[in-house]
Structure 1
Amino acid sequence: MYDVLIIGAGIIGSAVARELSRYNLKIGVLEKELDVCVETTGRNTGVLHTGFTYKPGSLKAQCCVEGNAEFDKIAEELKIPFKRLGKVVVGFTDEDKQSLLKYQDIGRRNGVPGLRLIDKKELKDMAPDAGGEFAMYSPTSGILSPFIYNVALAENAKQNGVTFYFDTEVVGQSRNDNYYILKTTKGNFSTRWVVNCAGLHSSKISTMLGIPGYKLGFFKGEYYVLDKNAGRTLNMLIYPAPGPTGGFATHATPTVDGNVLIGPDSVQIDCLDNYENTKSSMDKLFSDGRKMFKNMKREYCIRNFSGIRPKLIDPETKDVLDFVIERRDTVPHVVNLVGIESPGLTCALPIARRVIKCIKEVETLYDRKNFNPCREEIICFANQSREVQQQLIEMNPDYGEIICRCETVTKAEILQAIHNPLGVNTMTAIKNRVRAMMGRCQGGYCQMRIAELMQEELHKKETEIMYGRKKSHMFTGKVR
């Protein structure tokens, strides 16, 4: 019997788990995938947004501004790679200038600090790689690692007593007088409260819990990943002026690790497993990217990927609606979250606090006296000075053995990732925690060595090693 069960361990579910672990509650998280950060959270641009494109007074605007303002403290507590680089939203035409003035006004009404228009000279001084005749400058925009943020929230929640159940899909529910029974692929779980953080599947879970009627539209966005040589002079985010609906076309985003992401586009789809990259989308991304970013060159492309956003759609007007964070008296002890998409990464902790507010409307929550908001990181060997690297090797010789050459990831880091606090053991779990297999060769050198270490450390057969999702077997038998 749990006090609270959270459905979903993406960025929102993990944030809710972390914030609820501040209280004396027995909390569990049910996740259908083999790790956190597998679907929407693990397939986005990793931007800390400021809130100048969202309707004043909306939850998106409120939570985005709140989440942006607090993130320096959060990044320090949870040891999340984070840079507040700033953003230029560039324009070419008079229509673009009017668009920028419109969104500058919206940003000011939402409380976004420091927005201003700059001319071409100042734009080139700020961002030499940017195209455009003028721009709106947003100084508080930033970039972060969405992988590490999700992992950090979940690990901190686990550290404070939350239990995570992976490969555990919720398939039904029933309710007795005072509690729910959630039926899953791994058995039944009983709980007083249910929090729906199911992301792409949130409308389905909402209906299952007794709150029907939400219509999600699924929009796929495709990306190019450029290697670090392309990003050496990209010192801030470069976005095009928003279109009439407020959305952005293809943009260039540096990552905290030095790569560049070009994208995304946006195409509505029906299949939630449609993560393929298409030639038509990639060709258009390339041509659009060259207008925005002068180092968009074929030789710099090392990978493609795509993500899917669950937008809440008005069935009549087809407009995209605000986040839903609700508690209904007719469906007791359920907090329902639907349509959480961009800027969900920025909004995660403010959303979590609003979930707690819903629960506090019904019952009193008591603080956990030994709550610890801080998390220990896996030290990134490549980012240390020569002196610190030498000290690490002296303390642990495994720091002296490089497994991933492209990203300079050591055996010591790989072993820490394998023995992570959440207990997950896929190849992408290692990748998301220490960046192995994310470099120029995309695992061509290190992937087999990492698989071998996983076999040895976890006492697994080669046929039990999964790449990322269920049934993603790496091997059918022994290889050289």
Structure 2
Amino acid sequence: MQQQFDVLIIGGGVVGSAVARELTRYKLQIGVLEKNLDVCNETSGRNSGVIHGGFAYDTGSLKARLCVEGNQEFDHIAEELDVPFRRTGKLLVGNTDEDMKNLEKTMLQGKRNGVRGLTLIGRKRLHELVPAVQGEFALFSSGSGIVDPFRYTIALAENAALNGASFFFGHEVTAIRRNPDQSYTVTTTDGFFRTRWIVNCAGLGCGSISNMLGITGYRIIGSKGDYIILDKKTGSLLPMPVYPVPSNTYMGVHVTPTVDGNVIIGPNAENVTNFTYYGVSQKSIDFLAQNASELWPCIHRADYIRNYSGILPKWVDKNGVIQDFKIEVRDEVAPQAVNLIGIESPGLTAALPIARRVVSLIAERTDLKPNSDFQPRRKGPERFALQSEERKRELVALDPDYGDVICRCEEVTKADIIQAIHNPLGVHTLTGIKYRTRSMMGRCQGGYCQMRVAELIEQELGIPPEKLLYERKNSRIFTGKVRG
């Protein structure tokens, strides 16, 4: 039996979740098809978590316009969706005359783009802002900031679900057929769907979905970047992101604090054709550490706690030149389909402006009726570790499970875990709980708590151990008993 929708969004990353949220402002039946078992499993969650200012993109480009728009509204959006955001500022650090010329050009471009709070600073001010940094001068962007990309994407998706959107995880799209009445039938690995509109937010899969819609000719390459995560004890040494002077196409290896106190080193950049391989080599780790140490010499192997990588979907022309975002409706080829191509960085910053542009394209062709019940606010979970001592005592008195610490590194309690297990999106992978609570994200990376989290998922949801998944389909933690 086919499920019927007004709009089907293909892809549940930050942009797909933002589109779902903005479309629920209208009286529409909205579905989100995501091939993974949670939102934010690919590009949206595998980045530096920086809210960019918008100075690094060509004046007049969609990347520049939507980035600036997204940056300037982010304080309000973070408060509305109850996600941690810090407007830390950002430094682009230089040493040579050529560096200064490039920074002056970048600053001029930023001002043309409408970026606020850009200043060139000398050595004294540079080292007042980040004492440990190595450099002679810098471009300071006071409006840049940092966010947790997992919690932001989850918040967008939960707010969309609160307002009526339906999320279908483990549903990879394999075919799209346009029907005589101009509706679409979408075939997935777990059933069929019928819809009046399609929105292609497939990220790394945008080219494949575009081809299924009949919009051919886009060349998508992957740009893989590797990262190192440092222990929280390094966080106090880095109050804001620090970048080298950028090239035309690459921002360089940089160091970035997280909203939770860690430091991220990276990325490098390598063009890849395999969009599913996220391994990080020792050679890459050594390269990142060496390059970043030239900016910020506080990187020590003893502080490494994890590495990861992400892949950006870049739309390139026949000469390999990276293109701007493409947000289009091709009425003559695929009417009632919004096609998003090459949504890479600054997609995290620009997600909601991108979503509003999608809505406007649909509204130009379809009469959208406002949803008077739309609720823009979303209240996130009350994390025990972030509360005052008085509030912690109150919580333990209300629920003794708050007194049972499951993850010692991040002070995540049994109550936090149970609340996350019963999340609004129905996600129950180990990483799903990890990204909602920060369990398994501390110094020991789950060495103490992972099996306890797994046991709680099994108990709360009645899942046998052999069915428990780490992140993706077939990523089983247990295959059977070791002892009879």
TM-score normalised over the length of structure 1: 0.99
Match of 2:396 among 393, 397, 404: 393
**Residue 209 of structure 1 corresponds to which residue in structure 2?**
213
2:231 is the counterpart of 1:230: no
**Residue 185 of structure 2 corresponds to which residue in structure 1?**
181
CA contact (8 A) 1:431 1:438 kept: yes
Partner Cα separation in structure 2 for residue 157 and residue 166 of structure 1? 15
Partner Cα separation in structure 2 for residue 74 and residue 396 of structure 1? 31
SS in 2 for 1:230: helix
Matched ranges for 1:101-120 at <5 A: 101-120=104-123
| One-letter code aligned to 1:220 | K
SS in 1 for 2:243: strand
**Residue 22 of structure 1 corresponds to which residue in structure 2?**
25
**Residue 424 of structure 1 corresponds to which residue in structure 2?**
427
2:476 is the counterpart of 1:460: no
**Residue 328 of structure 1 corresponds to which residue in structure 2?**
330
**Residue 8 of structure 2 corresponds to which residue in structure 1?**
5
User: Which stretches of structure 1, 4 residues or more, deviate above 3 A after TM superposition?
Assistant: none
2:118 is the counterpart of 1:100: no
Match of 1:353 among 340, 352, 356: 356
Match of 1:131 among 134, 138, 148: 134
SS in 2 for 1:174: strand
| One-letter code aligned to 1:242 | P
How many Å apart are 1:81 and its aligned residue?
0.8
SS in 2 for 1:455: helix
SS in 2 for 1:337: strand
Match of 1:149 among 149, 152, 159: 152
How many Å apart are 1:233 and its aligned residue?
2.2
Matched ranges for 1:230-249 at <5 A: 230-243=234-247, 245-249=248-252
How many Å apart are 1:390 and its aligned residue?
0.6
Match of 1:293 among 288, 291, 296: 296
How many Å apart are 1:185 and its aligned residue?
0.8
CA contact (8 A) 1:53 1:246 kept: no
How many Å apart are 1:246 and its aligned residue?
4.2
2:194 is the counterpart of 1:190: yes
| One-letter code aligned to 1:394 | A
How many Å apart are 1:406 and its aligned residue?
0.2
| One-letter code aligned to 1:139 | S
Partner Cα separation in structure 2 for residue 20 and residue 177 of structure 1? 25
Partner Cα separation in structure 2 for residue 265 and residue 90 of structure 1? 17
How many Å apart are 1:234 and its aligned residue?
1.1
How many Å apart are 1:30 and its aligned residue?
0.5
**Residue 55 of structure 1 corresponds to which residue in structure 2?**
58
| One-letter code aligned to 2:313 | P
Cα pair distance change 1:97/1:479, threshold 3 Å: farther
Partner Cα separation in structure 2 for residue 63 and residue 177 of structure 1? 36
CA contact (8 A) 1:462 1:478 kept: no
Partner Cα separation in structure 1 for residue 481 and residue 73 of structure 2? 49
| One-letter code aligned to 1:409 | V
**Residue 439 of structure 1 corresponds to which residue in structure 2?**
442
How many Å apart are 1:300 and its aligned residue?
0.7
Matched ranges for 1:22-101 at <5 A: 22-101=25-104
Partner Cα separation in structure 2 for residue 2 and residue 304 of structure 1? 40
SS in 2 for 1:448: helix
2:266 is the counterpart of 1:263: yes
1:27-73, Cα deviation, whole Å (9 max, x unpaired): 00001001101010111100000100101111000100000000011
2:257 is the counterpart of 1:273: no
SS in 2 for 1:231: helix
CA contact (8 A) 1:224 1:303 kept: yes
How many Å apart are 1:95 and its aligned residue?
1.1
| One-letter code aligned to 1:323 | F
CA contact (8 A) 1:81 1:144 kept: yes
Partner Cα separation in structure 2 for residue 254 and residue 10 of structure 1? 22
Partner Cα separation in structure 2 for residue 388 and residue 478 of structure 1? 42
How many Å apart are 1:177 and its aligned residue?
2.3
TM-score normalised over the length of structure 2: 0.98
How many Å apart are 1:383 and its aligned residue?
1.1
How many Å apart are 1:479 and its aligned residue?
6.0
User: Between the two proteins, what is the percent identity of the paired residues?
Assistant: 55
SS in 2 for 1:280: helix
Structure 2: 5+ residue runs without aligned partners?
A: none
Partner Cα separation in structure 2 for residue 106 and residue 324 of structure 1? 21
Partner Cα separation in structure 2 for residue 250 and residue 221 of structure 1? 10
| One-letter code aligned to 1:213 | G
How many Å apart are 1:150 and its aligned residue?
0.6
1:365-412, Cα deviation, whole Å (9 max, x unpaired): 111001001112111111111001111111111111100000000111
Match of 2:321 among 319, 322, 332: 319
CA contact (8 A) 1:77 1:374 kept: yes
Partner Cα separation in structure 1 for residue 449 and residue 283 of structure 2? 32
Cα pair distance change 1:3/1:231, threshold 3 Å: same
1:134-189, Cα deviation, whole Å (9 max, x unpaired): 10000000000000011000000000000110000110011212210001111110
| One-letter code aligned to 1:294 | P
**Residue 451 of structure 1 corresponds to which residue in structure 2?**
454
Cα pair distance change 1:297/1:186, threshold 3 Å: same
1:168-220, Cα deviation, whole Å (9 max, x unpaired): 01100112122100011111100000000000000110000110000011010
Partner Cα separation in structure 1 for residue 241 and residue 249 of structure 2? 17
**Residue 371 of structure 1 corresponds to which residue in structure 2?**
374
1:7-37, Cα deviation, whole Å (9 max, x unpaired): 0000010000000000000000001001101
Partner Cα separation in structure 2 for residue 246 and residue 303 of structure 1? 27
